[in-house]
Amino acid sequence: MPAVSSEVWQVAWFTTWVAAAGTALILAPGVALGWLLARRDWRGKILVETVVALPLVMPPVATGLILLKLLGRRGVLGHAFERLFGTELVFTWRAVVAATAVMSFPLLVRTARLALEAVNPRYEQVARTLGAGPGRTFWTITLPLAARGLVAGVVLAFARALGEFGATIMVAGYIPGRTATLSTSIYHLVQLSRDDAAWGLLAISAGLAFGALWLSELLLRRRPAA
Amino acid sequence: MNLEITGLRLPLSAFALEVDARLEARITGVFGASGAGKTSLLEVIAGLRRPAAGRVALDGRVLLDAGRRFALAPERRQIGYVPQDDALFPHLNVRQNLCYSHAAGRPGHPPAITYARVVEVLNLGDLAERRVSSLSGGERQRVAFGRAVLASPRLLLLDEPLDGLDAELQQRVIPYLLTIRDEFGIPMLYVSHNADEIVALCDDVVLLDRGRCTRRGPPAALFTASPAPHYMLKPG
Amino acid sequence: MIRLGPLLRLAPLLAAGLCAGARLAAGDVMVFAAASLSDALRELAAIEQRATGDTVRLNLGASSTLARQIEAGAPADVFFSADEAKMDDLARARLIDPATRRSLLSNTLVIVVAADSPLALQSAADLLQPAVRRIAIAEPASVPAGIYAREYLRKVGLWDRLSPKFVPTENVRAALAVVESGDVDAGIVYRTDALISKRVRIAWEVPPAEGPRISYPVALVKDGGNPAGARRFLALLLSPEGRAVFAKYGFRAAP
C-alpha cells in the first residue's frame, strides 16, 4: 500500500474537525428540541417534527440548494453575516460546517428524543416534589439518565457529518486545501480518472464511519437499570 | 394540617374525578379500587397534574386555583410524594437520594428533621453508600420515605407504599410510617386498595369510587373485621 | 368486481400505444455535448425534430465527465467535446468512429462579473486586485474551459498568484451560475456563455491571438443506438444551417 500523503492527512483532518464543529453547533439546540418533542405537546407539533425531519428525507443537494440561497452573499443569512463579520459564508470552511450541521440535525433530534423519552417521567416528577425546579431536574435527573442514548446520538450525528456530500458540494464546492472533504475529494478524484487515489480516501472514510457507528452501537446496547 | 379541596374536577379516561373535601386528620386514607382515580388525586395535590376546575389550599395557603389560572409549581408546594413504584433515582446512591432535597437548596423548617435523625429513625445506617439497585423491597420503601421526609414537607402523599411487599414485610414497614407521623409530625395522605393497611394507619378515610367520594369516616365506621385479622368494607 | 368488457375493449388501444412508444424510442439520438453548447444544440435539436422526426436527447456537462461516462459504456450516439484531448482519449480507446471526426468550432475566453458589479478590468492582471476575492473557474484539472484558462494564465504568469482565489466548479455553466448569484466576484468562462446570460457582463475578453487555441471536435460514437439518426444530426451540425445557428450564439469556426 502506498504511503499516505500529507494531502490525504490534511483532508482527513479537515473533514474530522468540521464534522466535530458542526456537531458541536447543533448539540444544545438538538437536545433541547429533542426534549420538547419528548415531553411537551402543542398545536402544530407535527409540523415541527416534519420540518426537522426534512433534511433526512429530501435529496441532500436539494437541502444544499436551499442553504445556498440562504447563505449566499445575496442571501438573507449570508448577507447579514458578511455585514457583521466582513467575510462570506459560502465556499469557505464555515459553509462546510453549516452543511454538516443542517444535515446531521434531524438525526440528533431523533435520537435525543428517543433517549429522553426512555427516561421515566416519574423520576422527574419526584425530583420536582423534592424542591428541584425544571432546570435542576433536567441537569441532575433527566440528563444523567439519558446520557448513554444522548452520547450515542451525538456520535451518530458526527458519523453522518463525516460523510456529508450533497449539501457540502452545493454551498462550499470543492476547493482543495479550503473546503475539500473526504467525500468531495473522492468524487473529484473519480472525475479525474484517479480511481486508485480515490480508494485510499474511501478506506479512511469507511474506517472513520465504522469506528463511529461501532461506538454508537456499543453505547446504545448497554442500558442502565431504570 | 388542613387540606381544603374545593370543586375539583379532572376528566379521566372513563369518568371524571370530582372531589370536594376538607381533610384534617394526621393520616387520612384514600380507599378505592384500582382505577378509581386515587393516583390522579395525589398528582393534582402535588402539582404534577392540572385539573379542569377546582381549588386546593393547604394550611390556608392556596396551591391551585383553576378559576384564576393560578397553580403553584410542585417544587414550591412543600408536598412530599412517594409514588407507587418508589422511583428511587437509579443513578444516585442511597445517601444522594436521601439528600436530594437538601442539595436542591430548600430551607427546611422543623430543624428536627436532620439527616442523622431520619437515618436513625428509619434504620438506614448501613445503606448509605449502597447502590439503589442492590436494595430489597422493604429497604427501598424506607429510603423512599426518608427521601421525602428529609424535604421537610408540610404534607406527605403516599401511593400504595406497601403494594408489592409480602405480608410480613408490610407488618415491618407500618411502624415506620407511624414513627414518621409521631417523630416528625408530618401529616399524610395514604392511598391504598388494601383495607388492612387503612385500618392500621388512618384516622380518617375517604372512599373513592369512579372518581367520586362516596363515603367518609373513621375506619371503624367503614370497615369490619371479616374474618379477623383481615378487614373488609362494610356494605353501605 | 372488475368489469371485464370495457377493459378488453381498451386492450388493443394500449397495445397500439406501446408500439407507438417503441417506435419513438427507436428515433432517439443521444448526444453527449459540452455544457457551453447547451443553447445552440437545443435549437438545433428542435430543427432536427421538425425536419426528420428524430428526437435528439442532450446529455450536457463537462466534457471530461461525459468522456468518462462513454468510457464506462453510456449509450451515446454523438460526442461533441470542448477540447481535442477528451476526443483523443476516446479515439485511443477506439470508442469513436475516426472517419466522422471533425473539429467544428472555436470560442474565446472572457472574464465576467455580475451585471451590477462595479468592477472594471483592463487586463487579466487586474484580477490580482484585493477587491477581487473569489474567481469562479471550471475545474482546471479536467474541464476544458478550466484547462484553457489555466493554459492562458500560466502563459501570462498569473496562474500561481491567482490560484488561492479560485473556486473550481463542475463545468463552465456552473461557473457562470456562481457569478450570476453574486457569491464570487468574477469568473472565467467562454464568450458564448457570457452572451446568453443577462445577469453577467463581460469585464474583459482574452484576445484570440493571445488566448489558448480552443477547438470543439465532434464525432460519432461507435455502437450507438441510432447510427442513422446520428449521421443525420451530424450532417445538420456541419451544414450551413448548423453553422449559422452556432454563429448566432457567438461561436467561431474552428482554427
* pLDDT at res. B13: 87
Q: Give A9's contacts (C-beta < 8 A, 6+ positions apart).
A: none
C183 closest CB neighbour out of A90, A192, A193: A90
* Burial state string for C202-215 with b = 16 or more CB within 10 A and e = fewer than 16: ebbebebeebbebb
Distance from CA of A34 to the nearest CA of B (A): 21
Quote the pTM value.
Answer: 0.79
Neighbours, chain B (3 or more CB pairs < 8 A): A
C-alpha cell at B206: 375517604
Query: A-chain residues within 8 Å CB-CB of B134?
Result: none
Answer whether A192 sits within 8 Å of C183, measured CB to CB: no
C-alpha cell at C134: 473569489
- Whole-number mean pLDDT of chain A? 90
| pLDDT interval class at A192 (50, 70, 90) | confident
**Residue numbers of the domain that contains B161:** 3-233
Pick from A129, A141, A150, A223 the residue to mutate for testing the B interface (most B CBs within 10 Å). A129
Q: Is the peptide bond before B229 cis (omega within 30 degrees of 0)?
A: yes
* pLDDT at res. C20: 43
Query: C-chain residues within 8 Å CB-CB of A174?
Result: 139, 168
Q: Residues B47-80: pLDDT tens digits?
A: 999 999 999 999 999 999 999 999 999 999 999 9
Q: Quick one: which H or E segment has residue B28?
A: strand B27-31
Helix (H, G, I), strand (E, B) or coil at B151: coil
* pLDDT at res. C5: 58
Q: Do chains A and C touch (3 or more CB pairs under 8 A)?
A: yes
Domains of chain C: 4-105+216-253 (3.40.190.10), 109-205 (3.40.190.10)
Number of domains in chain B: 1
CATH code linked to domain A6-221: 1.10.3720.10
Q: Is B143 within 8 Å of B88 (Cβ atoms)? A: yes
**pLDDT at A51 exceeding the cut of 90:** yes
Q: Could you tell me which of B128, B78, B144, B146 has the C-alpha nearest to residue B108?
A: B78
ipTM: 0.90
Distance from CA of A72 to the nearest CA of C (A): 6
Q: Is C218 within 8 Å of C82 (Cβ atoms)? A: no
* pLDDT at res. B106: 52
Domain boundaries, chain A: 6-221
| CATH number of residue B200's parent domain | 3.40.50.300
Q: Is the peptide bond before B227 cis (omega within 30 degrees of 0)?
A: yes
Q: Residues A196-211: pLDDT tens digits?
A: 888 989 999 999 889 9
**pLDDT at C12 exceeding the cut of 90:** no
> Which segment of A54-68, B109-123, B152-166, B204-218 scores lowest on mean pLDDT?
B109-123
Answer whether A91 sits within 8 Å of C167, measured CB to CB: yes
